[in-house]
Amino acid sequence: MGGPHDAPRRGVRRAPGGPHVRRPAARRRGSGVSGTTSWVTAELGIGLDVGSPPGSREAGAAVLDGVELGLRRNPLRAQLLVSRLLGKHVPAPVAEVLGTGHLLGDLVRDACAGRTPVVVGFAETATALGHAVAAVAGADGHQAPYLHTTRRPAPRGAQLVEFREEHSHATQQGLALLPGGLADAALHADVPLVLVDDEISTGRTAINAIRALHAVRPRSRYVVASLLDSRSEEQHRELDRVAADMGASVASVALLTGTVRTPHDVLERAAALLDRLPDPPAPGGAPVPVTRRTLVLPAGLPTLAAHGWDAGCERLLSDAVGAAAGSLPVHRDARTLVLGDEEFMYLPQRLAAALGGEVRTSTTTRSPAAVVDVPGYPLRTVLRFPATEDPGRTAFAYNVAPSGRPDPGNAPGFDDVVLVSDAPEGGHTDVLLGLLAASARRSVHLVRVRAAGAA
């Protein structure tokens, strides 16, 4: 494994988002990090120790309080490490979400030693994180080519590069490369390849991805980047051996390193605890007004980076979200949430940034997790609904409905909620909109995003 790298250089141009992007301020240790007791620790004896790697202490200090222990509904793993700076399960200030990705991108740029890499983000949680990393990972601090894995159906004619995420509730994911497309061209360039995930726990997903991608286009340098790396020394060495066997080297960079301590019977204890938990209440507020509008993207701008993304896409996106933000009737002094939809994270985050003020962002997810409305637990409320892109399965939105406790934690509730989705027409979003209308205090707005020429 490549060692940690020097602290990021100063004076590098910041990525798109302008004044609405900021690096998280350094915090003192608090809930969810070393030396504190969370609800999961008290109930199951799971411990989490988090610190900053030597080469990224300045960057890591800014996000040290950003990880909390949750509880999965997954028989393979009990604990869920919940990031408060990812914009997924926990609504977070969008400026800090994007800024956190840029901090990681600075480390990636240094690891690539003056070469512009191709960056690959992992679905569904790290699609936007990968975008933010790529935005500053180029050799000059500018945009690097980017694409992300997907669990969506591949378009006809695409080359599939699939691999397993072994501990996940949805184990299969991969890349869908369109011949002659941006992603296809980027992957075949002789440059370092960067894999971005929010958390690396065992390294098996990274190993599976590197093997699959190396079979498509062998290369000599890989970088594995994450917000939190909790691998053991032996797991680090395993990744080194895999890369060496392929004639490549691999470096790992992370804002935080950590150790998760679990009792030997944690899976049995977690299953028993899950059986005892009551079902969370459904939102019971009087429905607020719902508006609907469509954002048609300019030609050449895809809704997702699953098939590739470059600096031209960034420029088009900046113009599109700037115009869309001006048409949304939300108040700068309101508590506003912009909610993305599963893999569709980055465009909603950029729209949230364009709105300005202290707008927060989070995203729906296919990840089932325990919800407990008590202090010291990160997931306080949940909305359950048919997934907008596939109504045959269930999706979730955590911490959008307000907590019923005096100390609401991560679920204070919102005045205005903006749902941004590229889901198909035909009522796929109606159930979710109804739940949002019963959760918000003032208004709900659907922004349905369409690529140019799409039906």
Q: Domain coordinates of the chain in residue numbers?
A: 94-261, 290-450
Domain 290-450 listed as CATH 3.40.50: yes
What integer pLDDT is reported at residue 331 of this predicted model?
Answer: 84
Residues 6+ apart with CB under 8 A from 161: 174, 175, 177, 212, 213, 216
What is the enclosing helix (H) or strand (E) of 119? strand 118-121
Instruction: Specify the 3-state DSSP secondary structure of 81.
Output: strand
pLDDT on residue 17: 55
Looking at residue 187, its amino acid is: L
How far apart (Å, rounded) are the C-alpha atoms in residues 242 and 239?
A: 5
Do 94-261 and 290-450 show the same overall fold? yes
Rg (CA), the chain: 21
Crossing angle for the helix pair 311-326 and 346-355, to the nearest 10 degrees: 50
Token code pair at residue 214:
């190396």
CATH of domain 94-261: 3.40.50.2020
Query: What integer pLDDT is reported at residue 22 of this predicted model?
Result: 64
Burial class (CB in 10 A: 0-12, 13-18, 19+), 390: middle
Per-residue pLDDT for the chain (455 aa), expressed as one digit of tens each? Answer: 333 333 333 333 345 555 456 656 544 333 334 334 689 999 999 999 888 877 666 665 667 778 999 999 988 889 999 999 999 999 999 999 999 999 999 999 999 999 999 999 999 999 999 999 999 999 999 999 999 999 998 888 888 898 877 655 456 778 988 888 898 888 888 899 999 999 999 999 999 999 999 998 999 999 999 999 999 999 999 999 999 999 999 999 999 998 999 999 999 999 999 999 999 998 988 999 999 999 999 999 999 999 999 999 999 999 999 999 999 999 878 999 999 999 999 999 999 999 998 899 999 999 999 999 999 999 999 999 999 988 999 999 999 999 999 999 999 999 999 999 999 877 789 999 999 999 999 999 999 999 998 76
Distances (CA, A) of 87 to 52, 94, 161, 424: 21, 7, 27, 23
Report yes or no: 275 and 428 within 8 Å, Cβ to Cβ: no
Query: What does the pLDDT read at residue 310?
Result: 96
